[in-house]
Structure 1
Amino acid sequence: MNSQSDEIKKDTDFINESLINVYDSIMRIEESEIRKSRFKDITAKEVHLVHTIGLHDRKTTSEVAHILKLSKGTLTANLNNLERKGYVMRIANQEDHRIINLGLTSKGRLLYRAHDAFHTLLVKRFLRGFNDDDIRLIKQAMVNLEDFIDEVSAK
């Protein structure tokens, strides 16, 4: 191998290790912050479900299940827990009563905003020092990664 391909191999190894470390660290930080917060009764996975439901979207249960790639049964069990804990509410769809929309309670909205603030800070720090062209390249790399994840999860 030549020195350029050696360097690329080192870079790809670094990126691989970084992705693993970043994912693990973010999950660990989220769990730790949850335990220190007023939201001690919730898990990081439940926080992400609250985040997916969103502040004002009123998504359907089917939409949320699709986004999170969960079965409707798994989603229902999680929603039951979040509803019991006071974060989520089910709302009858006014046009079609067979459809259930989801909304956040005031407690759920507060959790959403706290989680969103953490991720906003995370992204700002991640992009610090990059120019607009760099950010577009990073965005394309993220799109490529999401496309790959979608392909793998569809199998």
Structure 2
Amino acid sequence: MDTYSALNTTLVKLFNQIMGIERKCLITEEFKDISTNDMHIIECIGLDRPKNMSSIAKQLGVTVGTLTIAVNGLVKKGYVHRRRSEIDRRVVYISLTEQGVAAYRHHEAFHQEMIAGITDHLNEQERELLAGVLERLNEYFQKKYEQ
């Protein structure tokens, strides 16, 4: 197999495997009422101070309308709080509930375990090389497809 074919096959398989593994590992009995997409919204909201809907939508690459539908579900399920700004009532701030923080930590642990599994057998130079190659790959996709 030539380099082009090997890279193409590997990238496609890797993407599909990560998505499938993430789906299986994240949606446990405790979090069976949410999707991996919901988990990514929870991850984007994060543990810091509340974020406004516009910044979350921008980070996720979706419209505020699309995000609103998903956040409505997360509010109903008890993962997210929604609060209007005191200064500008048009601005809506989102933060995680205790249940949302638990989901965030679950997702974070999955990623930490995944990265540890990938890098534990690499030396420091190999880790840096892998990080650099993946960073350049990410930059390419951002420039090419997220404009």
**TM-score interval (norm. to shorter):** 0.7 to 0.9
- What is the RMSD computed on CA atoms of the aligned residues? 2.0
Deviation for aligned residue 1:59: 1.9
* 1:137 alignment partner, one of 126, 129, 136: 129
2:79–2:97 CA contact under 8 A, matched in 1: yes
Most deviating of 84-93 and 62-71: 84-93
> Kindly, what percent of the aligned residue pairs are identical?
29
Tell whether 2:72 aligns with 1:103: no
1:14 aligned to 6, 10, 30, which one?
6
**What does residue 46 of structure 1 align with?**
38
| TM superposition score normalised by structure 2 | 0.87
Q: TM-score, normalised by structure 1?
A: 0.83
Runs of 4+ in 1 over 6 A off after TM superposition: none
What do residues 44-97 of structure 1 show as CA deviations (whole Å, max 9, x unaligned)?
111111111111242221111111100111111111111111111113335544
Q: Is the 8 A contact 2:85 2:92 kept in 1?
A: yes
Structure 1: unaligned runs, 5 residues or longer: 1-5
The higher relative CO (CA closer than 8 Å, separation ≥ 6) is in 2
In the TM superposition, what is the alpha-carbon distance from 1:152 to its structure 2 partner?
Answer: 2.5
Q: Does 1:65 align with 2:54?
A: no
Deviation at 1:110, TM superposition (A): 0.4
8 Å CA contact 1:86–1:105 kept in 2: the answer is: yes
Aligned partner of 2:20 in structure 1 is 28
Say whether 1:81 aligns with 2:62: no
How many residues get paired? 147
Say yes or no: does 1:149 pair with 2:141: yes
Q: Which has the higher helix share?
A: 1
**Larger CA Rg, structure 1 vs 2:** 1
Letter in 2 for 1:13: S
Distance 1:96 1:54 in 2: 22
Residues 22 and 36, structure 2, Cα contact 8 Å, conserved in 1? yes
Q: 1:26 to 1:37 in 2, by over 3 A?
A: farther
Q: In 2, Cα distance between the equivalents of 1:77 and 1:67? A: 16
Structure 2 gaps of 5+ residues are none
